Chains A and B, each alone.
Chain A
Amino acid sequence: MSVIPVLIVIGLVVAGGFLAAFLWALNTGQFDDATTPAWRILNDEPPANDDSKPAKH
């Protein structure tokens, strides 16, 4: 049973990783707009440039 604290630590690290990933996505503006990206794919022409990573505000 002494493995439990170790497993909990591992579990917390993994979950903390997901939390960090979420906070990163949030702070880079990935949740700011849930509408436009869905429309963007309906646009036939290819994007004007490939530099399309979300930018920091």
Chain B
Amino acid sequence: MSSPCHYCGKPAVQPVEKGGRVYCCRGCLRLEELESEECAVPDWNAASADATSESVRWAHLKQAEYRDRLVRKGSDGHAVTTLFIPDMVCASCVAFLEKLPAKNPAIHRAEVNFPRKELRVAFDESGLALDALAALLDRLGYPPEMRNAAEADQPKKDRQHIARLAVAGFAFGNIMLLSFADHLGGEEFDLSGFQGAFGWFNFALSLPVLFYSARGYFESAWKALRAGGLNMDVPIALGMVVIFVRSVGEVLLGTGMGYFDSLAGLAFFLLIGKWYQHSTHSRLSHERDYQSWFPISVLRVADGAAEPTPISTLQAGDRIRIHHGEIVPADGVLLEGAGQIDRSFITGESHPVAVRPGEPIEAGGRQLGGAIDLRVERPVQQSALTRLWNSDAFQKDRKGSIQDPVDRISKHFTLAVLAIATATLLFWIGKDASIAWNAFTATLIVACPCALALSLPFTYGSTLRWLGRAGAYLKNALVVERMARVRDLVFDKTGTLTAASAFETHFQPVAEAPNFEDRGRVAAAAASSAHPLSRAIVRLWAEDRPRVEAFDEEPGSGVAARVAGATVLIGTRTWANASDADVAALDTAFPTADSGLRTTYSYVALDGRLLGRFAFTKPVREGIEQELQALAHAHRLHLISGDSDAERPAFAAWFAPDRMRFNMKPEDKMAYIRDLQAAHPGELTAMIGDGLNDAGALKEADLGVAVVDDLYAFSPASDLILDAKALKHWGAMLQFTRQAQRTVYLLFAISFAYNLVGLYFAVQGLLTPVVAAILMPVSSFSVVTVALGRTRWAWARTGIRS
């Protein structure tokens, strides 16, 4: 008897399993996924409340510079804008957003493109300005995000490619049909009277292929030639031109129908390859810089009034206000409020830092306490963090110099083809001039590297897709090649090897464990504070919380609260009046975790009696220990962290002492990567990090891997975005790409074999259109089949379940 469906409860006849649960059908699985995804459809009433924080965030959209870029005039006179909304996750979100016109009279049309996470809105600017629209969406829980021009134009490029593919496919089908008469020939189908007419039809059909569909190849080949180099598109373009010229010649002279079918087929297959290789993760961005991390406007306080101001216009001496959860945009000095800055993304420090009035705050950290006021010390462009982007690594694209294997061999390939063709010409010219021309062009036609050019797109394209299903999103197919060749792996610590935000919390009692009521009191006191450690306590003890009668918070020390008739103190040792004897007893009873991870303690006292303490650590991600062990066999592992070396012992098992560096600034990390590359020339280095402090190293490394907990949240520019949950499969993924590289070499061998067969006919002047028409598709199909089949086999061998 099969177990009942987890979603609808009916017996599962054809069970589908996912995550250890059984569902009766795909529909139930999908519905459960939809409902379980984090999707809190907000209340419409929330939209009516006036919330200043949102209007601040979007105030910059009032400026013409932003407005003109985002808003276009629709055909019906309305203003039209397309906004990227990363927070839409399910069908309910779509239904909700598309109801906007019914709720706000100034909005005429709202249309969601879910795969791209875009909302297209037609609205009336006199009734609702762009900034008000953005603020409204933000308030409703769907804050829009600004994309750069390249991201916004991607759909247009995709469409153009499909159009080229469609035209090539259309022409290919029709030309094949017409050529069949000639290829089959014979007495039963004597169509010789139509040869001329069919030839002209084929000629007409091949024109759009040559001048529209295959245009990209000619442009690319021309560019390469002008730069004095040879890429794979040069022999392709040469082959196509020769096929066309010779075919036109045959039709004109009436000697045959030419090779138009080969020409159209070539363009069609090559375009399919290109399309297949194209990354399917259009909604992820691999190209972000610090500007996407910072807000665009901030609240500036002048003469007692707060006014939204673009951060680019901030001057030294300005007073700005930062609310809970907002990013500090410029280096400054805290004037007022309790600074509680989470800098894990900027410096790699694993625990938030308390900042008192008068102390400096660096740009980039996130404020976690209440609202604070700062005095700006340096304009945004000159802050310590943004200076990083002015360094060399961000000015030039050094990675372009790492060639893919096809480009490496294409030079030799082209020269070899030209040599063989010339030799053929010279050999025949003395004997029979007509055969000489025939053999010369046939050599160039048959040598056209169609199968060769398809090996890489299909193998790496398929590799990219499999990796995408497991949570690794590559910028493009060529990243596969670099993954396969990586030798040094440099890891960041905080947020990469250890969890980014969640603390692992334990309670260590002095005597017996506190009872239900006391736990409720402590949780209630902690719940009144915005401090990240307080929140971790609330998560640990999710009890029924009594009402808090009085509450006070001292930044850097702790909280004091009166809850249900008892006084609760949570904070530092001195704050909770923990005696040396108690602390010593606790240290003996609960020795610092064997893991060696840095632990922060919060002591808890109830009515003057010490209950115990909370121990907070940022744990190493699940499965990382085994993964590092496995990776160490084939790679050199390095650890570079912006944090102090308190956690050095926790990682000593996997990293050699001289390959572990702590207290590294962003520039130090970049320098470390550069030194590594200089020390091992010819070997590739991967940087695996997550924060802005890794941005320089990610850019400098041959392979930059950004580890993210939330795919749509900000991640620094990288070659690969890796879901943190997939980090434990990193070794298997690298192994998989090495298999892909082997597949490509195998396919090179196969396609060379086909080229040799073709050349055998061509140099003798025996290449008829039929031979070309058979050889080309057969070679292409076998290459594609082997590429997809072997990649699939290699993926099964990795043992990763997506």
Q: Please report A residues at the B interface, Cβ cutoff 8 Å.
A: 1, 4-5, 8, 12, 15-16, 19, 22-23, 26-27, 29, 31-36, 39-40, 42-43, 45, 47-49, 51-52, 55-57
- Tell me if B98 counts as interface (CB < 8 A to partner A): yes
> Distance in Å from the Cβ of A24 to the closest Cβ of chain B?
10
Are B174 and A12 closer than 8 Å at their CB atoms? yes
Q: Please report B residues at the A interface, Cβ cutoff 8 Å.
A: 74-76, 80, 82, 91, 94-95, 98-102, 108-116, 120, 122, 155-156, 159, 162-163, 166-167, 170, 174, 178, 191, 193-194, 197, 201, 205
- B110 surroundings in chain A (CB, below 8 A): 48
Are A27 and B108 closer than 8 Å at their CB atoms? no
Return the contact of A40 from the options B75, B94, B174 (Cβ within 8 A).
Answer: B94
- B109 surroundings in chain A (CB, below 8 A): 49, 51-52
By DSSP majority rule, is chain A's interface helix, strand, loop, or mixed?
A: loop
Are B170 and A15 closer than 8 Å at their CB atoms? yes
Return the contact of B113 from the options A4, A27, A36, A45 (Cβ within 8 A).
Answer: A36
Q: CA separation between A27 and B159, bound complex, in Å?
A: 7
Are B114 and A33 closer than 8 Å at their CB atoms? yes
Return the contact of A49 from the options B74, B108, B116, B162 (Cβ within 8 A).
Answer: B108
- A52 surroundings in chain B (CB, below 8 A): 109
- In the A-B complex, list the 8 residue pairs whose CB atoms are closest, starting with the nearest: A48-B101, A48-B102, A39-B91, A33-B113, A36-B114, A43-B95, A19-B170, A35-B114
Q: CA separation between A28 and B689, bound complex, in Å?
A: 41
Return the contact of B116 from the options A31, A33, A42, A55 (Cβ within 8 A).
Answer: A33
> Distance in Å from the Cβ of A28 to the closest Cβ of chain B?
10
Tell me whether A27 and B102 are in contact in the complex, defined as CB-CB below 8 angstroms, given that A19-B170, A39-B94, A57-B156 are known contacts. Answer: no
Tell me whether A8 and B178 are in contact in the complex, defined as CB-CB below 8 angstroms, given that A31-B162, A48-B98 are known contacts. Answer: yes
Give the one of B109, B116, B120 with max A CB within 10 A: B109
- B80 surroundings in chain A (CB, below 8 A): 55
Are B194 and A19 closer than 8 Å at their CB atoms? no
* A31 to chain B: closest residue by CB: B162
Tell me whether A26 and B162 are in contact in the complex, defined as CB-CB below 8 angstroms, given that A49-B101, A55-B75 are known contacts. Answer: yes
Q: Pick 13 A–B contacts, CB within 8 A, sort by A.
A: A8-B201, A23-B166, A26-B162, A26-B163, A27-B159, A31-B159, A34-B115, A35-B114, A36-B112, A40-B98, A45-B99, A47-B98, A57-B155
> Distance in Å from the Cβ of A5 to the closest Cβ of chain B?
5
Return the contact of A32 from the options B98, B155, B170 (Cβ within 8 A).
Answer: B155
Q: CA separation between A40 and B108, bound complex, in Å?
A: 17
- A51 surroundings in chain B (CB, below 8 A): 76, 108-109
A27-B159, A31-B162, A56-B75 known, 14 other contacts, Cβ within 8 Å = A4-B191, A8-B178, A8-B201, A15-B170, A16-B170, A19-B167, A26-B162, A40-B95, A43-B94, A43-B95, A45-B99, A47-B98, A48-B98, A55-B120
- A47 surroundings in chain B (CB, below 8 A): 98
- A31 surroundings in chain B (CB, below 8 A): 159, 162
Q: CA separation between A12 and B175, bound complex, in Å?
A: 11
Q: CA separation between A15 and B111, bound complex, in Å?
A: 33
Q: CA separation between A49 and B78, bound complex, in Å?
A: 14
Q: CA separation between A40 and B194, bound complex, in Å?
A: 53
Q: CA separation between A36 and B122, bound complex, in Å?
A: 18
